[in-house]
Structure 1
């Protein structure tokens, strides 16, 4: 093949490729049609209603308290504590607006296991017992408490009974949350 023929052949191929590339650009629609109608519905109109002002009833009959029925028999210790707690003045409110509460510190143990055993024994006897771990003197101790109650003297009967039964020296202290 001679050089002139090769150049013509290469030129024809280049023109053909250029025509294939530019054909869609020159002979196609400039832009597809865009739907200009909104698909979002028009905001509905709502009727405005007038609301009547609330009316207070003139007199309401007081609700009587239901009669409490004692289904379960309680021990003498809890009855004495409840009667002592119910009678007397209302609880004193401290500076933070919370009532002053008192607990009976039954014992303090260095081993948490011993404290939990005493707590379980007290709960079995019907007392509301709980434990707290306190750090004192660089070591941890677990204290066993009963309560809380709003009156300090509500623990008098329980304190005597617990000291006799468990051979401990208990204290009435202020409840710390």
Structure 2
């Protein structure tokens, strides 16, 4: 009788241990098991970490796509009157780069820019047609134009002949200029 109770007791302990192991392992399941990250993204703790140039829940979107298209510019520089004109932002062969056509309503040469962090556009320091330019902008949503329908662009144009600076919110604290507004 004692050996039967001992066998039942050991069997009960083994059953409880097996049940506990199953419950424990089901609570600590792999959060990335059912996640598929596109375009070289990597799953970390149930979320995709996207490579540069991609975004979205599963890295399925190209970050620069929201910047592409035709935009309407409204701006007033620190030394120029208010102006309105069209520009276009177009892709290049590099996934994070774009060109801006008709920038400043002056440049015939497309201006090079780079998309960083998914929502920012950077115009690196470059010189064309007697002017030096650089700037940074941020794309956002607004009521009138919807999701990704506006860019607030801050930049400067420096005339190489006269050294006069036309500022569009880049050094706002110094010259009280306003950023350029680009709308879809």
Q: Please state which band the TM-score falls in when normalised by the shorter chain.
A: under 0.3
Higher helix share: 1
TM-score, normalised via structure 1 length: 0.20
Q: Which has the larger radius of gyration?
A: 1
- Which structure has more RCO (C-alpha within 8 Å, separation ≥ 6)? 1
Higher strand share: 2
